[in-house]
Amino acid sequence: MRRSRLILVVSLLVVFSVLTAAIKSGDIYFQIKKQLTIFSDVYKEIATLYVDELPPEALMKNGINSMLDALDPYTTFVDEGQQQQMEILSTGTYGGIGLDAGYRGERIVVIAPYDGYPASRAGIRPGDIILEIDGVSTVGMDPEEVQQLTIGDIGTSISLKIERRGIDQPIEFELERERIEVKNIAYSELIGENSDVGYIQLTRFGQNTAEELRDQLIKFREESGMNGLILDLRNNPGGLLNEAVHVVDKFIDPGELVVETRGRLRDQSNSYYTEEPPLFEDLPMVILLNSGSASASEVVAGALQDLDRAVILGETSFGKGLVQTIRPLSYNTSLRLTVSRYYTPSGRSIQSIDYTRDNGSADQLLPEGQRREFETRNGRKVYEGAGIEPDITIETPSASLLETTIQQKNLAFFFISDYISDHSVDQESEFPDNMYQLFVEYLQEEDFNFETSADRYIKELKKSEEHFSESDKARELLRELEELVNEQKKLSLAENREQLENALKLEWISGTRGGTEKIQESLPLDLVITESLSILSNQDRYKEVLSN
């Protein structure tokens, strides 16, 4: 009798749970229907009766975007015109001619043709001004619009009219679009004193990233035996989660947890484990991060840090612990929707901002004392809520205001591009000894200037200058101050000579020998890479970092 009563109670509880869930489910669908009806009524009234005529499409888009603005910045509506760009991001391939475009003043120029693709093969050069694409003027366009015009079906033709320094008439190019593959690995090389440390610059986690990495690692092993590896994830914004898991696979035994996703629904909560025997189980590794390393990059770095498999070096990562999926919608639109958060093997979340309150303003970062503590496999302390913090912090030296302004305006690139066009320069040409002085003269010809805090202060003082009397000493002092600031700016060119010469040399190499050579020459100038080599050459220090 007691057993029958127990069975009855359990059955009733199960039925009650099912009914409760059904009621809750029904309630949310009723609320959705109710609110959609209200929204539809408001939309119709505004679109048909508002004092000014409003385009229905733009009105609806504003409504959708306002709704999404209350969520996280990664949940976005993708309209019909953006679908092609989404496909490029997800597949890493598209039909095009292979070039990057950017601004030069108000004109659109070629920043870099991709090696081996139609634009490069046809002789289009960095610095060429794009006048027309298929007869359409680029005046008033931004670089993204120009880029979009170059994309199309593989095998279709495209015409470009460009202007080149030193040639007094436009040059026309007729090109055929090819399959352009966005590289996952931007650069790879054996570096170090004995050329026995593999360096791989991974720029994204697109399709086949893990297999490309595998092939490169095997190639390194066959070439030198490889005694260490530097995996550079700086400025890698992430990509496909499964590729991140497969990357970790190459260095960790099968059956180890790499990452866990936790969402609102059961099918959005999953655990991902390593599956295959590792290529390099004990190879010393350093992972490079900075504030531009996000999402899948943080999954890889977080897993290898929690499992004490690699030393993390550089700066704290971005802190994007949210997972998105693409939901197809009507009329060839879609919704990029955040459905879960991910957690590293120790259980920590790397999400740095809580977007559930006050639209996720930056001041919602958790204070250090309130962040939960976790442990790596060896018992090292790690904390959640601020991205992946490096085991050894090396902050990139801040560029001076002068350097920043020159880089922002791309002046070194344009100067070298013009110099190469004006002189008989080929791959064997040596970097001129007087290039820095020529660059200074170029800046003077271009009336180059940059605004300091002192300039802004002088501007404020000048607003009151009309109140100075003719005999007022303040007017004279103001002129002297302005002259002093200008003299200090001239001195800053000399103070930053080494940095500017390095920038000019790298642009020279890029313009004469290509982007790959530019990366190769920049490695010895990178403090983070030189520190990585130092750690990998000292096994006692390497082991100490992973045990403390």
Residues marked as catalytic: 295, 306, 320
Distance CA 233, CA 249 (A): 17
Residues 6+ apart with CB under 8 A from 147: 100, 101
Helix (H) or strand (E) run with residue 174 in it? strand 171-176
Write the single-letter amino acid at 314.
Answer: G
For residue 168, what are its two tokens? Answer: 């007094």
Phi, psi dihedrals of residue 96, rounded to the nearest 5°: -170, -165
Q: How far is CA 177 from CA 98, 152, 246, 310, 495, in A?
A: 9, 7, 32, 42, 47
Buried b (16+ CB within 10 A) or exposed e, 209-241: bbebbbebbeebeeeeebebbbbbbbbbbbbbb
Q: What is the dihedral of CA 373, 376, 379, 381, to 10 degrees?
A: -30
Of 207, 326, 348, 323, nearest in space to 268 by CA: 323
Helix (H) or strand (E) run with residue 201 in it? strand 197-202
Cβ neighbourhood burial of 112 (10 Å; 0-12, 13-18, 19+): buried
Residues 6+ apart with CB under 8 A from 228: 192, 196, 197, 198, 283, 284, 285, 286, 536, 537
Distance CA 91, CA 534 (A): 37
Alpha-helical (H) ranges within 423-537 are 435-445, 453-463, 473-495, 497-513, 515-522, 527-536
Write the single-letter amino acid at 331.
Answer: Y
Distance CA 122, CA 397 (A): 39
What distance separates the 2 farthest-apart alpha carbons in the chain?
Answer: 112
Distance CA 96, CA 179 (A): 7
Write the single-letter amino acid at 392.
Answer: I
Per the CB < 8 A criterion, the answer to whether 536 and 230 are in contact is yes
Residues 6+ apart with CB under 8 A from 15: none
Strands 228-232 and 285-289: parallel
Per the CB < 8 A criterion, the answer to whether 175 and 207 are in contact is no
End-to-end CA distance of the chain: 62
